[in-house]
Amino acid sequence: MVFTSSHLSPKSSAKILIVDDKIDNLNLLTTMLSAEQYEVRRAVSGKIALQAVQGFQPDLILLDITMPDINGYEVCKQLKTDPVTQNIPVIFISALNDVFDKVTAFSSGGVDYITKPFEISEVLVRVANQLNLTAARAEVVQLNQELEQRVEERTCQLQSANASLEEEVRQRQSAQEELRHKAFHDDLTDLPNRTYLLTEIEAALELSKTQPDYQFAVLFLDCDRFKLVNDSLGHAMGDQLLMAIAQRLAGILPPDGKLFRPGGDEFMVLLRHIACPLQVETLTEQILEQLSQPFYLSGHELYITVSIGVALGEQRYDQPEDILRDVDTALYQAKAQGKAHSQAFHPKMHQRALRRLQLEHQMRRAIREQEFALVYQPIMDIQGESESVAGFEALIRWHHPKHGWVSPDDFIPIAEETGLIIPIGQWVLEEACRQARQWEICAQDPAFPLYQKPWKMSINLSVKQFSCNNLIPALDEILESTGLQGDRLKFEITETALMENADSAQTVLAGLKQRRIELAIDDFGTGYSSLSYLHRFPVDTLKIDRCFMTPPVKSAAEESSTSTSNAAPNDHDLRIIKAAVNLARDFGMDTVAEGVETEEVLAQLKIMGCTYGQGYYFSKPLSSHEMNQWLGRVEQQAIA
């Protein structure tokens, strides 16, 4: 067999321990290996070899089998049990005449063997082979370690990527949750919103269809005059109050009641599993009572009331929206009764709501078809020896092609709600100014009853008109086109209109003053009863509401009846009239008593110092033509 070492590249600096008791062998091998640049050590016995390996740490051991103290197999076995030496490859050396047991050699841990006499190339190849093998094994071990380390690093990276992925998923889930929450809840109070309510009503409707005994109700609460809180104390306080209301409501609700905030100053309650309608009634009363208690917020004592509409969930409803429509109608009715009322829905209200809708439609047509007309009611100076005409109040009438004359009490509120009051009010302004100018022209004739009299035309302005930016420019245009001077006019607005537009009112009123238009507070005594505005705004006249003149209060429908009441104002009303007259005097204002129907009332008003009177006692509202005749008659009487 020919062995070549040229293709092998053993680590030339490799350390080799030769163990043999024969010096010749030792010498031969040492020479052979040293020539190949191996670092060689020698041991002449097994014992010495076992000691030498501890310090020398060879890369390979050439081990003789037959030795006097410990034989090679035994040495090898011991080397393999020591962790320091167990990985050193051992090549056995055997003489041809040795009894060489290959099985024992390999099983004791040897990796190869060389037989004597040595053939140099064979020895070198076998040595190089083993060293290469060891080196390759070490490389494999190192590669394995590196691989393991890389796997470990990668695992770490993956784990951290996984962790950040999990975090991202968690964040997304919570963002989604938040979005979902936002979609179904109100930001301010965190109460469920209208969308949420619709789904809940839908579920309740489903249940009522499968369980005939199941009853539920929806309550719609709207704060009365909440705008006033926002306007006077600011929106932050308004928000605080809304939260406090929500809290108070939540405290009253039974376990089966759920509170919602659809928006603004509105709240809704879904009451499930109700045993009888009385239960709902009790709850609405409780709510009205609880909310009538003052709220103490940031040093303010606040009072607020709510109006409540109620609708019972019934099987006839198909859609949740239908219940909301009805509860809204009920709320509207509750509001119409004044502050702090509740009203349950009744199907008849549908007809009323429908009628409102029809009226709105018909009013639009009435504007186009010019079905509106103005009538005029004289306002009399009652302080002189005999009463004389001090002005007129222009009052609108609607001549409906089918229903005849419709009272403004029936259509003005709807016109205000729908915004139709703007074009209607514009027409009233134009028409009243045109009529005033016409009477001015007539009054240039000494024969005309108004000759040289400083009378005024009073015109009612609605809240919407008053808060409309266009009021002053529109007015200028009318004054310009009719040729009327502003000082001929007096505008009547209610306390509510003034208070609800306190901010913009200043500018509008300044504009009116500039044009020397006077301002009267209409229906005084029925509104806010907050007198603070009197010194803030340039009010010229207080019109004391007619409800204080002839108890019981008369309805507008009574205007058409010819009978007049003989009753004089009762003590309580008298005191109010007196207070109003005195108040007006203190503020440099004059007073008009509305609804003067009897001589007794007139006499009392005169005594109290009321400046003007208006009412059926003098005249009902008349058309301009009728008014001309009436003026003529009054003039005749005065002359007589």
Q: Which residues bind ligand C2E (CB under 6 A)?
A: 377, 395-396, 407-409, 412, 425, 428, 460-462, 492, 522-523, 546, 554, 556, 558-559, 594-597, 614-616, 621
Least Å distance, CB 546 to Mg ion, is 7
Nearer of residues 63 and 428 to ligand C2E, judged by Cβ: 428
Contact set for Mg ion, span 581-600 (CB under 5 A): 594
| CA gap 492, 166 in Å, rounded | 69
Structure tokens at 70: 């410990």
Which partner, ligand C2E, Mg ion, none, binds residue 422 by CB below 5 to 8 Å per kind?
none
Angle (nearest 5°) at CA 319 between 266 and 207: 100
Q: Which residue is nearest to ligand C2E (CB)?
A: 615
Helix, strand and coil in the chain, % to nearest 5: 50, 20, 30
Interface residue with Mg ion among 239, 281, 477, 523 (CB under 5 A) is 523
Which partner, ligand C2E, Mg ion, none, binds residue 610 by CB below 5 to 8 Å per kind?
none
Locate tokens 């350390």: which residue? Answer: 15
CA 200 to each of CA 185, 188, 302, 427, 560: distance values in angstroms, whole numbers, following the listed order: 13, 21, 33, 47, 50
The DSSP bridge partners found for residue 544 are 524, 593
- Is residue 522 a contact residue for Mg ion (CB under 5 A)? yes
Which partner, Mg ion, ligand C2E, none, binds residue 554 by CB below 5 to 8 Å per kind?
ligand C2E
- 80, amino acid identity: K
Please state, as a whole number, how many other Cβ atoms lie within 10 Å of the Cβ of residue 118: 16
Least Å distance, CB 245 to ligand C2E, is 31
Structure tokens at 230: 């926002």
Least Å distance, CB 503 to ligand C2E, is 21
- Is residue 377 a contact residue for Mg ion (CB under 5 A)? no
Nearest to 548 by CA among 576, 520, 521: 576
Which partner, ligand C2E, Mg ion, none, binds residue 89 by CB below 5 to 8 Å per kind?
none
Which partner, ligand C2E, Mg ion, none, binds residue 605 by CB below 5 to 8 Å per kind?
none
Nearer of residues 460 and 462 to Mg ion, judged by Cβ: 460
Which partner, ligand C2E, Mg ion, none, binds residue 597 by CB below 5 to 8 Å per kind?
ligand C2E
Structure tokens at 291: 């909310």
Least Å distance, CB 392 to Mg ion, is 11
Which partner, ligand C2E, Mg ion, none, binds residue 131 by CB below 5 to 8 Å per kind?
none
CA 48 to each of CA 334, 453, 550: distance values in angstroms, whole numbers, following the listed order: 116, 149, 140
- Is residue 495 a contact residue for Mg ion (CB under 5 A)? no
Least Å distance, CB 432 to ligand C2E, is 8
**Do residues 550 and 597 lie in contact, with contact meaning Cβ atoms separated by under 8 Å?**
yes
- Is residue 460 a contact residue for Mg ion (CB under 5 A)? yes
Rg (alpha carbons) of the chain, rounded to whole number: 55
Nearer of residues 97 and 555 to ligand C2E, judged by Cβ: 555
Which partner, ligand C2E, Mg ion, none, binds residue 431 by CB below 5 to 8 Å per kind?
none
- Is residue 333 a contact residue for Mg ion (CB under 5 A)? no
- 102, amino acid identity: K
Main-chain dihedrals φ then ψ at residue 261, nearest 5 degrees: -125, 100
Residues 6+ apart with CB under 8 A from 234: none
**Do residues 201 and 313 lie in contact, with contact meaning Cβ atoms separated by under 8 Å?**
yes
The DSSP bridge partners found for residue 380 are 389, 613
Question: What angle do helix axes 235-252 and 226-233 make, rounded to 10 degrees?
Answer: 140
Least Å distance, CB 523 to Mg ion, is 4
Question: What angle do helix axes 624-639 and 421-442 make, rounded to 10 degrees?
Answer: 40
Nearer of residues 126 and 490 to Mg ion, judged by Cβ: 490
Interface residue with Mg ion among 381, 387, 431, 492 (CB under 5 A) is 492
Nearer of residues 271 and 396 to Mg ion, judged by Cβ: 396
Which partner, ligand C2E, Mg ion, none, binds residue 462 by CB below 5 to 8 Å per kind?
ligand C2E
Nearer of residues 202 and 558 to ligand C2E, judged by Cβ: 558
Least Å distance, CB 550 to ligand C2E, is 7
Cα end-to-end distance, the chain, whole Å: 167
